[in-house]
């Protein structure tokens, strides 16, 4: 090593020691925590009405997201459709892994209808509104896959034709195996948007299959949901947030949008159409 290189190395080492020895206390003023309601509902045409409700918890007091303190029991949940107002019933059975409480009604969701929700719980109040869409009919679907036997990773290329409207619109497309129940997890899901005058859309679905199998199924079920822009924006933001968790160089936390007034979450309407497709 030359003398010049040795001096350069010494300078770098000295600077490193100086930087490591720096210690500074910086006061940080955090905003005061405010408890708010969290509403999650996806009103799908022809399905019954399901609304999941919980509330935020102070992370310094209740760090566990499944703490029983989030359970919103006995809330007054009212849904307005036109001039009619009816109260949703609280579901007493557990809701999977989450502690949110379901409020339901067996009325069927109708297309092109405006729904308004109002939730009151103790001193908390939140409300929102949404409009459902007419069904977008799938007219054709073709799917191919790149898959390695006995591995979880699978990539799917999907081409769909549908009666897309002549305006900008937003969608969520999912691919299910025929053995998966209607409420089960899809193999992959992808959001996309369509410009005017499009009848065919090519969607590349890259993801991890939910079940390991020796060979991919020969037939799938394609599900196309028309969604609104707020749901599209929330879906993309959640994807970005999960990407931050998976990265060893995560940046700032992604801000998740909401359409809930006085709270957080999403209250949205959508339509759905399905089609069976043979793997090519």
Q: Structural domain of residue 66, as residue ranges? A: 37-131
Q: Is the per-residue pLDDT at 67 higher than 70?
A: no
Q: Domain tally for the chain?
A: 2
Tokens of 239: 């994807």
- The more confidently predicted of residues 132 and 195 is 132
Residue 166 lies in a domain: yes
Residue 159 lies in a domain: yes
Residue 240 lies in a domain: no
pLDDT at residue 192 in the model: 83
Task: Return the percentage of the chain with pLDDT > 90, whole number.
Answer: 34
Could you give the CA distance from residue 186 to residue 221 in angstroms, rounded to a whole number?
9
- pLDDT tens per residue across span 38-50: 999 999 999 999 9
Residue 51 lies in a domain: yes
Rounded to two decimals, the pTM is 0.79
pLDDT at residue 212 in the model: 47
Could you give the CA distance from residue 127 to residue 259 in angstroms, rounded to a whole number?
9
What CATH number corresponds to the domain at position 126?
2.60.40.10
Once rounded to an integer, what is the mean pLDDT over residues 131-150? 82
Q: Are residues 96 and 57 in the same domain?
A: yes
- pLDDT tens per residue across span 71-91: 888 999 999 998 899 999 998
Q: Are residues 53 and 120 in the same domain?
A: yes
- pLDDT tens per residue across span 227-257: 999 999 998 888 887 766 555 555 566 788 9
Q: 81 exposed, middle or buried (CB, 10 Å; 0-12, 13-18, 19+)?
A: middle
Residue 263 lies in a domain: no
**CA distance readout (Å), 159 to 145, 219, 225, 270:** 12, 15, 15, 21
- Contacts with 253 (C-beta within 8 Å, 6 or more apart), sequence order: 241, 244
Q: Are residues 145 and 227 in the same domain?
A: yes
Q: Are residues 187 and 145 in the same domain?
A: yes
Neighbours of 75 (CB within 10 A): 20
Q: Is the per-residue pLDDT at 36 higher than 60?
A: yes
Q: Are residues 176 and 225 in the same domain?
A: yes
- pLDDT tens per residue across span 123-137: 999 999 999 999 889
Q: Is the per-residue pLDDT at 55 higher than 60?
A: yes
pLDDT at residue 280 in the model: 79
Mean pLDDT of the chain, nearest integer: 79
What CATH number corresponds to the domain at position 166?
2.60.40
Could you give the CA distance from residue 156 to residue 189 in angstroms, rounded to a whole number?
10
Q: Is the per-residue pLDDT at 69 higher than 60?
A: yes
Task: Return the percentage of the chain with pLDDT > 70, whole number.
Answer: 67
């Amino acid at each position: 090593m030359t003398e010049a290189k040795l001096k350069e190395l010494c300078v770098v080492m000295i600077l490193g020691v100086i930087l490591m020895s720096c210690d500074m206390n910086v006061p940080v003023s955090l905003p005061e925590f405010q408890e708010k309601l969290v509403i999650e509902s996806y009103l799908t045409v022809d399905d019954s009405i399901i609304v999941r409700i919980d509330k935020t918890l102070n992370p310094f007091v209740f760090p566990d997201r499944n703490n029983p303190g989030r359970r919103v029991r006995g809330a007054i949940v009212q849904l307005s459709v036109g001039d009619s107002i009816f109260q949703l019933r609280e579901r007493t059975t557990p809701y999977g892994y989450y502690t949110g409480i379901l409020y339901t009604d067996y009325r069927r969701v109708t297309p092109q209808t405006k729904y308004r929700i109002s939730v009151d719980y103790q001193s908390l109040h939140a409300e929102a509104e949404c409009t459902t869409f007419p069904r977008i009919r799938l007219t054709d679907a073709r799917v191919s896959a790149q898959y390695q036997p006995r591995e979880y990773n699978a990539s799917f290329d999907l081409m769909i034709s549908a009666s897309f409207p002549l305006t900008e619109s937003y969608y969520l497309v999912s691919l299910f195996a025929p053995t998966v129940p209607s409420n089960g997890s899809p193999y992959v899901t992808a959001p996309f948007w369509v410009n005017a005058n499009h009848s065919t859309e090519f969607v590349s679905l890259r993801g991890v299959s939910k079940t390991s199998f020796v060979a991919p199924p020969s037939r799938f079920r394609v599900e196309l949901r028309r969604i609104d822009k707020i749901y599209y924006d929330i879906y993309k933001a959640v994807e970005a947030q999960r990407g931050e968790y998976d990265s060893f160089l995560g940046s700032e936390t992604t801000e998740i949008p909401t359409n809930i007034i006085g709270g957080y979450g999403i209250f949205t309407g959508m339509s759905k159409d399905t089609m069976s497709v043979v793997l090519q």
